[in-house]
């Protein structure tokens, strides 16, 4: 009986350890091409599609039309589809330090990113009816 209890306890410990592990965040590093986007339900203009989008392990840089934005990002450890963005560099001084809650989905060569600039509001889907939605393809 003691052996059975020990085995059961060991199995329980292994199961608990597996649940406690952090979920793996998407690996989005590299260059991306904007395929489509929406801002509060309206399509983004073609200038946004001409910009360059580069992601490192903790930053996304957007360059185009003579402007450069750098956003830091951090995935939620328990639910890696949830991400928090912070503007680190901006040609618009008031935007620096601004944060946004978002969601991100990576499937193969496609990345979807949605976020809200409203405090403590996170999008629930990738429909783009409200807030911001961007769909990217991995650049070749």
Per DSSP, the residues of 24-82 read: PPP---EEEEEEEEEETTEEPPHHHHHSEEEE-SSEEEEEETTEEEEEEEEE-SS-TTE
pLDDT grade, residue 24 (50/70/90)? confident
What is the 8-class DSSP label of residue 128?
-
Instruction: Work out the percent of the chain whose per-residue pLDDT is above 90.
Output: 68
Higher-confidence residue of 11 and 91: namely 91
Is the pLDDT assigned to residue 14 strictly greater than 90? no
pLDDT tens string 37-66: 999 889 999 889 999 999 999 999 999 989
Mean pLDDT of 126-131: 88
Is the pLDDT assigned to residue 26 strictly greater than 50? yes
Is the pLDDT assigned to residue 1 strictly greater than 60? no
- Mean pLDDT score of the chain: 86
pLDDT grade, residue 135 (50/70/90)? very high
Where residue 78 falls (left for φ over 0; alpha for ψ -120 to 50; beta otherwise) is alpha
Domains of the chain listed by start with CATH number: 25-138 (2.40.128.280)
């Amino acid at each position: 009986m003691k052996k059975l209890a020990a085995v059961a306890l060991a199995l329980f410990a292994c199961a608990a350890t597996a649940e406690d592990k952090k979920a793996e965040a998407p690996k989005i590093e590299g260059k991306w091409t904007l395929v489509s986007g929406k801002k509060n339900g309206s399509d983004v203009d073609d200038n946004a599609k001409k910009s360059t989008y580069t992601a490192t392990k903790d930053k996304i840089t957007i360059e185009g039309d003579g402007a450069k934005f750098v956003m830091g990002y951090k995935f939620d450890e328990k639910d890696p589809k949830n991400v928090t963005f912070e503007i680190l560099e901006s040609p618009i001084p008031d935007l620096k330090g601004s944060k946004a809650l978002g969601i991100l989905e990576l499937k193969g060569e496609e990345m979807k990113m949605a976020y809200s600039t409203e405090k403590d509001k996170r999008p629930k889907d990738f429909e783009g009816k409200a807030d911001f939605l961007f769909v990217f393809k991995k650049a070749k």
